[in-house]
Amino acid sequence: MPSSLTLLPLRREIMKKATKKDIARHLRQEQTPAEEHLWQLLRNRQFENLKFRRQHPIKEYIVDFCSLEIMLVIELDGAYHNKKDQKEKDELRDTHLRGLGYRVLRYPNKIALESIQVIYDDIIKRKGEKAPSPLREKVGMRVLSTKKLLSNQRELLLNAGVSFVEYDAISVQPIDFEIPKDIQNVIITSQNGAKAFLNVIKKLPLLEERAGVRCFCVGNKTTALLEENSYKVAKTAQNGAELAHFIAKNYKNEHFTYFCSKQRRDELPTILKQAKIPCNEIVTYETHRNEQVFHQAFDGILFYSPSGVQSYFSANKKLPSPQGEGLGVRFFCIGETTATEARKYTNQVIVSNATTIESTIAKAVNTLKKLTS
């Protein structure tokens, strides 16, 4: 994707509301200097008589440059692509594109601006090679997802050559609750909590004081859900303990309302209690275990919540055997809170770089592929 840091906030906002075609059109109009420079050199078959498209949609992606004639994708990266979690996303994206039959070339912006011959040489080399087959790699790895995945999430695994089994380790049951009229500071630590909060508050009469509500969240997707509904998020943390320490340090004289699960963890309320910060807990939903026994071999298991970990191990007392030879089973967790629960059962725990399902899948794919390479 385009890499100018100055354009990122605008692009994210547009992506929430626009169609894929609208997004591509906007990105063509807002090219970074590196993209504009490379486009002037590639457009109208100026190089090797190859037709290149800019900001071209492929599946759920929009790639910077693409030549369908030789199935080649070129991506130009800004500084934010050097971040660990973004590198992981880029690797999985490239793996997916390769699984679809594309060659992928990725360069820092500086190469396009100062060393264009490097890109020219790579294009010529790829032009002379036989295009890869779009058939999926036969890695032979298998993972278990403790949550049923969306179609694009399934494709991330399948196009990386990783087979999978999926099931919902837990189910969520809403609980009736009321929202106090005087809330000012709201704590929400899950998407389920955010959905429950929004479903109830939207039924209430509009209150002027609601505009002043500040939200404190765990997870980027929880934050995104609230911001999409026009709520201001004052802080996004990776887990409840981190959020509680932030509140204890910066909001000592405030009162908070915590919309949580019946099975909520103790870290956040304990830290706030120790800091003598008033916190009213409102239970919005409860989780139920869907216990299922698995006799298959897996190389990795993907966990997205502590409750999911508990549900899996309550039905499967022994660690599963690995699918691949010579490998132990890895347990991939969406965040540190989930990982803490998993470590009660095994020391083969790996935490994703971001608290999203996609990042958890990326961590699993990249880790397992490295183990077999």
Average pLDDT over residues 309-317: 94
Is the fold of 141-169+290-372 the same as that of 171-288? Answer: yes
Please give the mean pLDDT across all residues of the chain.
85
CA separation, residue 366 to residues 108, 186, 298, 329, 331 (Å): 21, 37, 16, 15, 13
pLDDT tens, residue by residue, 224-270: 999 988 889 999 998 899 999 999 999 999 999 999 999 888 999 99
pLDDT in the model for residue 110: 93
Pairing of strands 170-174, 279-289: antiparallel
Fold for 171-288, please state it.
Rossmann fold (3.40.50)
Domain ranges for the chain: 5-127, 141-169+290-372, 171-288
Average pLDDT over residues 12-32: 61
Q: Are 232 and 221 in contact (CB under 8 A)?
A: no
Question: What are the φ/ψ torsions at residue 66 (nearest 5 degrees)?
Answer: -150, 135
Q: Are 246 and 180 in contact (CB under 8 A)?
A: no
- HEC readout, 10-70: HHHHHHHHCCHHHHHHHHHHCCCHHHHHHHHHHHHHCCCCCCCEEEEEECCEEEEEEECCC
pLDDT tens, residue by residue, 290-302: 999 998 889 999 9
Fold for 5-127, please state it.
Endonuclease; Chain A (3.40.960)
Q: Are 224 and 195 in contact (CB under 8 A)?
A: no
**How far from the centroid of its chain's Cα atoms is residue 193's Cα?**
18
Tell which residue, 315, 58, 334, has the closest CA to residue 221: 334
pLDDT tens, residue by residue, 65-107: 999 999 999 999 888 777 776 777 788 788 778 878 889 999 9
Is pLDDT above 90 for 58? no
- What architecture (CATH level 2) is domain 141-169+290-372? 3-Layer(aba) Sandwich (3.40)
pTM: 0.67
Average pLDDT over residues 32-45: 92
pLDDT tens, residue by residue, 119-161: 999 999 988 887 665 544 444 789 999 999 998 899 888 878 8
